[in-house]
Structure 1
Amino acid sequence: MTTRLEALPGSRLKWAVADGWTITRRDLVHWANHPVQLIVGLLFPIMILLMFGYLFGGAMKVPGGGDYREFLVPGVLALSMMFGIEATFTAVSTDVSRGVTDRFRSMPMAGSAVVVGRCVADMINAALTLAALVLAGLAMGWGWHRGIGPAFAAFGLLLLLRLAMLWVGIHLGLVLRSPESVMALQILVWPVGFLSNVFAPPETMPGWLGTVVEWNPMSATVTAIRELFGNPGWGGDSWMAQHSLLMAVVWPVLMVALFFPLSVRRYRRLSR
């Protein structure tokens, strides 16, 4: 009798999809059994949005005019996609440190199932986060002004950024392996997140700092989605400012191209 590992390519693909979905369902069941963790994860970016929108918004001026809250919401949407790396890292490193990943590897299942299942679960979480933030933004008076097509394109860019951060998180979780290392990750992620055009335009910053901010991959996504949503932002004459939509695709694709194979290779070497 032919085993799953000896199956034809079409059958192997079918089993790989089924195994990946099994791992995804495991994470979904975990959320259902521990809803507080999911709820806190959804409320945290909303808290940032409300804090900056209402506590500091009155003192902020958008170059060229416009409502600061409309300037802010796209930035926080992108920031939440980047901060998702912490949840990915924690989940992967926890499974590795507790031996769960090794048990999965000992089972007759597709080698891609664990990382693909993690990817699908985290993308579902990202979609929920975006939905919660959009509702909060709409309640604050934010909206998109260039039609539903550009708005969907903006949400696509946000999910693409989350996909890139996801594979970075998977790789770091497999390398560091310790959930306690999330503190070290936060020391790196938070400055990168705030060293962007999420809360303030680069043109208001010192020249060298504004250049660094413009070349932050997240800044490209933020600039592009502000344009797609029709929200106030900054134009600028720099190359990055003029090609933000292109770079909002290029940066995440480059990160996925780098960290996806690194994650797969690291996963295969876990037991060595």
Structure 2
Amino acid sequence: MLSELRAEHVSKSFSTICALDDVGVSAPAGRVLGLLGQNGAGKSTLLRVLSGALVPTAGVVLLDGETSSPSFLRRKTGILFGGDTGLYEELTAHENILFHGRLRHVDDERIARREYELAEALRVSEYLERRVSELSTGTRQKVAIIRVLIHDPQAIIFDEPEAGLDFSAVRTVLQFLRDQAHECSRIVIISSHSFGDVLEVTDDIAILNHGRLTSIVETRKLTEGHSLQDSFAELERLAIGDA
């Protein structure tokens, strides 16, 4: 099992736009790291670099202290971006999961076992034989989570994991992610615009502002003995940093 995913001095530019500027952050196994920041702060870009979906302009991404290529990172991570389920609507949920598992070179027996475990945890077993076109937005999102985790990745990277989910489903998904970190000792990194959800599920919070990392703080230090309003005010202060 992997013990840490880390970015060191990572920068990423798109033409004249600097999306990330000398960012360094560590995500240890067994803890949930949350990324917070305004739109355009660089959260999604950082997640894509950490997952191998984007190559940094400068800096490196390391797994357990070893510099890792984008292709290696893609094999070791499961990444999902809110609103982009990657599912084929004409196929059933099960057919989608099976297809993507085979693409990941997972044998059918292992796919079946993993699909059962994840579907039970996310409470979607009864929907596996339905076409995706017939599923609600929230159920599609849960099926998409199974799709990206079917190869049993050691690092889970989710951007807006609660997208399209109702209150009850959000609680289920957040608890699932917490369990993946705390009980299964996986690396879990999430980004969200929902301040309350981030406080609920994370152990550590990294704050980005205009492509720069302004602060990393243990979540409990923000929440113990503080109201939600006070915690939010402190996060706003940390987000400003020295930018």
| Superposed pair shares fold, TM > 0.5 | no
Give TM-score, length-normalised by structure 1: 0.22
The structure number with the bigger radius of gyration is: 1
Give TM-score, length-normalised by structure 2: 0.24
More helix per residue? 1
